[in-house]
Copies of this chain bind each other. A is one copy, B any other.
Amino acid sequence: MSPRSQNRRKFLLLAVVAAIVGLVIGLLIGRFGIRSDNDDYKITGISETFVQDADPYISAEIMDNINSENIRQYLRELTEHPHLAGTDADYKQAKDLQEFWRSVGLDETFITPYDVLLSYPETKDESKMNRIFVYDSAGQVVWKSALYEPILDPSENKSNVVPPFNAYSASGDVSSTDLVYVNYGRVEDFRWLAQNTDINITGKIVLARYGKNFRGDKAYQAEILGAKGIILYSDPEDYANNGEATQVYPHGWFLPESGTQRGTIFRGYIGDPLTPGYPATETAYRLKGNGTNSVVLPKIPCHPIGYGAAKILLSYMSGDQVPASWRGGLNITYRFGGPLKQSGWKIRMRISTKNTRKKMHNVFGVIRGSIEPDRYVLLGNHLDAWVFGAIDPSSGTAVMKEVSRVMGNLVQQKKWRPRRTIIFCGWGAEEFKLIGSTEWVEQYIKNLGSRSVAYLNLDIASEGNYSMRLRATPLMRSVTYAAAKKVPNPEETDTRFKTVYDKWMYAFPNADKSRPRDFRLGLLSDYASFIQRAGIPVADFRYTYNRNELKLPSYPLYHSKYETFKAVDEFMDRGFKCHRASGQVWAEVARNLADSLIIPFQVEDYAKTLKDGVDNLENEFGLLMKKNGIELELLYKAISVFAADAADFQERAKHVDKKNPFAIRSLNDQLTLMERAFIDPEGLPGRPLARNIVFADSSTNAYADAIFPGLIDGMFEIEGSADEERRWEIVKKHFSVVIHTIDSAASTLRDVSAFMPL
Contacts and interface: CB of A to CB of B under 8 A. Distances in A.
Interface stretch (A17-25, A399-407, A608-616): A17-25
Nearest to A110: B757
B110 A733 contact: no
A482 to B, nearest CB: 25
Given A26-B22, A444-B747, A661 B756 contact: no
A669 B450 contact: yes
Contacts of A729: 288, 291-293
A521 to B, nearest CB: 21
Interface in A643-660: 659-660
Contact of A446 (B28, B364, B666, B673): B673
A44 B48 contact: yes
11 contacts: A12-B14, A14-B15, A15-B15, A16-B18, A20-B22, A35-B45, A46-B661, A285-B732, A293-B730, A374-B752, A447-B748
B756 A110 contact: yes
A246 interface: no
Interface string A616-645: 000000000000000000100010000000
A192 interface: no
A279 B677 CA distance: 14
A288 B443 CA distance: 37
Contact of A31 (B34, B682, B733): B34
Nearest to A284: B736
A92 interface: no
Nearest to A46: B46
Given A47-B41, A450-B673, A366 B753 contact: yes
Given A108-B754, A681-B681, 18 more contacts: A7-B8, A11-B12, A15-B15, A18-B18, A22-B24, A23-B23, A27-B34, A46-B46, A50-B661, A285-B733, A291-B726, A291-B729, A292-B726, A293-B729, A373-B666, A373-B752, A450-B450, A682-B688
Size bracket, chain A contacts: 35 or more
A369 interface: yes
Given A8-B11, A733-B285, A740-B283, A752 B451 contact: yes
Interface string A488-532: 000000000000000000000000000000000000000000000
A344 to B, nearest CB: 48
Contact of A293 (B16, B31, B733): B733
A36 interface: yes
A143 interface: no
Interface string A35-73: 111101111111111110000000000000000000000
A29 to B, nearest CB: 6
Among A15, A371, A638, the one with the most B-chain Cβ atoms within 10 Å of its Cβ is A15
Nearest to A672: B450
A280 to B, nearest CB: 11
Contact of A662 (B23, B284, B665, B757): B665
A735 B286 CA distance: 12
Contacts of A373: 666, 752-753
A602 interface: no
A597 to B, nearest CB: 12
A676 interface: yes
A228 interface: no
Interface in A328-374: 364, 366, 368-369, 371-374
Contacts of A735: 285
Interface in A266-297: 277-279, 281, 283-285, 288, 291-293
Contact of A285 (B50, B112, B284, B737): B737
A757 B110 CA distance: 7
B43 A49 contact: no
Contact of A756 (B49, B444, B740): B444
A220 B718 CA distance: 36
Given A284-B736, A446-B677, A36 B29 contact: no
Contact of A371 (B421, B662, B669): B662
Interface in A700-735: 725-726, 729-730, 732-733, 735
Contacts of A726: 291-292
A739 interface: yes
A553 interface: no
Contacts of A247: none
A221 interface: no
Contacts of A44: 36, 43, 47-48
Given A47-B659, A754-B366, A284 B740 contact: yes
A372 B664 CA distance: 11
A471 interface: no
A691 interface: yes
Given A22-B20, A44-B36, A450-B669, A279 B740 contact: yes
Contacts of A15: 11, 14-15, 17-19
A264 interface: no
A451 B677 CA distance: 13
Given A31-B30, A284-B736, A364 B756 contact: yes
A744 interface: yes
Contacts of A41: 45-47, 49
A37 B46 CA distance: 10
A541 to B, nearest CB: 24
Q: What 6 A-B pairs have minimum CB-CB distances, sorted nearest first? A: A30-B30, A26-B26, A36-B45, A41-B47, A11-B11, A22-B22
B51 A46 contact: yes
B682 A277 contact: yes
A526 to B, nearest CB: 16
Contact of A29 (B16, B30, B752): B30
Contact of A26 (B11, B23, B40, B364): B23
A730 B47 CA distance: 54
Given A46-B41, A450-B450, A753 B659 contact: no
Contacts of A673: 446, 450
A670 B745 CA distance: 23
Given A22-B23, A729-B292, A736-B284, A369 B753 contact: yes
